Amino acid sequence: MYVEVNIDALVGPTHHFGGLGVGNRASLENQRSVSHPRKAALQGLDKAALVASLGIPQFMLLPPVRPHPQWLSQLGFRGTFAEQCRAARSAEPLAYSATFSSAFMWAANAGTFTPACDACDGRHHLTLANLASSWHRAAESRERLGQLSTLFAATESQPAGKAVLHDALPSIVPLRDEGAANHMRLCDAEGTSAVHIFVYGQADLAVAATQTMARQTLAASQAIARLHGLDPSRTFYLQQHPHAIEAGVFHNDVIATSHANMLLYHEFAFWKAEDELARIGQAYQHFCGRPLQRICIRQQELTLTDAVSSYFFNSQILTPRGASSGPSPGHTLVCAQQCQRMPQVRAMIERLVADERHLITQVRYVNLDESMAGGGGPACLRLRVQLPSELIDQFAPTARWTSDRDSQWRAVIEQYYPEQLEWERLGDPHLIQQYAAAYAAFAAIQ
């Protein structure tokens, strides 16, 4: 049996609102607002603790070091780092923000994963995302490669644990890749047979000229499917609806999601896709031995505007697991509190829970206001991987969420993370020392 593992990324001490997210309305609207790094990190840990309490194996990636002093040097800024920051803040404010970016907190963009049971060579595959659409995130693939290699290293001695970590695709416009935020896996009850759906925003080589640029390309998705050795008869490609992109749907996981045998999506998630969705349903029935449960949310029930504002489709769908009884019937929906605060969205969720199919049996709301202000909901904060159940205990033991580690991480955050952070003061020398102390304290935790 294969078990879903959640790998969350911890928010860094330089968390701020730089307005760097292309097509991301929350990012752009909150540009240069005062941020709260301490609160942001604790909210992320609260969400991870909730997931762990449901019996889901929960792991954490610690934040890569920021700032990036060499970034400003590479862009031609001279002098001390403080002088570079002052010059960049005036001449190239986006470069200034990119130097301190904590966007790595959204781990769903780290890469795309295929479990060994789906790959033709019987090995796990993970391709790091190049994030070529956003200049503040392009360096992340190198950092995450090291971290994720460490996670998988503990399982390499087991045949079922062999993993191939692929470098990011070439960082060019036609191969823009934003990771698992544009990928869905539908599987059988055991998690061993599946079909894959890749969602892209752009099929040709043209460069979008607006802030609603399609951030995933078809060519990138097809390349990942080839690298991972996916069976073409089990692999499908859907194009994002132009209306969705225009409304601020920069990733598929802002407008559609999946879990096990359930595909949950908005009426305007995909472009001219009804025939392809029917083929996906047929393939799922054939390979997984049960019907695909398609739930299409209509525009009259939830507008695109409210879908983007609430990040409903960025909720996590989880199957709670008991210590000995295996999966519990029904799924749990973990939603941002914005969904609860918006009457139309809350009513729609209540109808889903009341559905006679009982696909979703409970809802848990989490406060992720800091992440949401930057354009990331519950699912943005985690990367899903599927592993054989016998490997879970061997997988990255020092990165697994436990109450003891949670306490240690919280102590670092409480001591060293700024309570609030103004954009203009990101490069303050005192704050630079504070950031460094936080990273040193994390490194000291065994």
**Helix, strand, coil % over all residues of the chain, rounded to 5:** 45, 20, 35
- Residue 180 to residues 113, 256, 257, 424, Cα–Cα distance (Å): 7, 12, 11, 33
Q: Which of 85, 117, 187, 380 is catalytic?
A: 380
Instruction: Give the whole-angstrom CA distance, residue 42 versus residue 409.
Output: 9
State whether residue 49 is helix, strand or coil.
Answer: helix
Contacts of 64 (CB under 8 A, 6+ apart): 12, 104, 140, 143, 144, 147
Contact 423/32 with Cβ under 8 angstroms? yes
Residue in the block written with tokens 């499908």: 236
Q: Which of 4, 140, 178, 267 is catalytic?
A: 178
Q: Quick check: is 380 catalytic?
A: yes
Q: Quick check: is 124 catalytic?
A: no
Contacts of 206 (CB under 8 A, 6+ apart): none
Per-position DSSP letters for 298-341, written without gaps between them: PTTTS-HHHHHHHTGGGSEEE--EETTTEEPSSEEEEEEHHHHH
Closest CA relative to residue 25, chosen from 373, 343, 335 = 373
Q: What is the DSSP letter of 199?
A: E
Instruction: Give the whole-angstrom CA distance, residue 394 versus residue 192.
Output: 20
Contacts of 216 (CB under 8 A, 6+ apart): 176, 177, 178, 182, 199, 200, 201, 202, 240, 251, 252
Q: Quick check: is 390 catalytic?
A: no
Residue in the block written with tokens 């539908």: 186
Instruction: Give the whole-angstrom CA distance, residue 214 versus residue 246.
Output: 9
Instruction: Give the whole-angstrom CA distance, residue 58 versus residue 293.
Output: 26
Q: Which of 15, 196, 251, 266 is catalytic?
A: 251
Give the residue numbers marked as catalytic.
Answer: 178, 251, 380
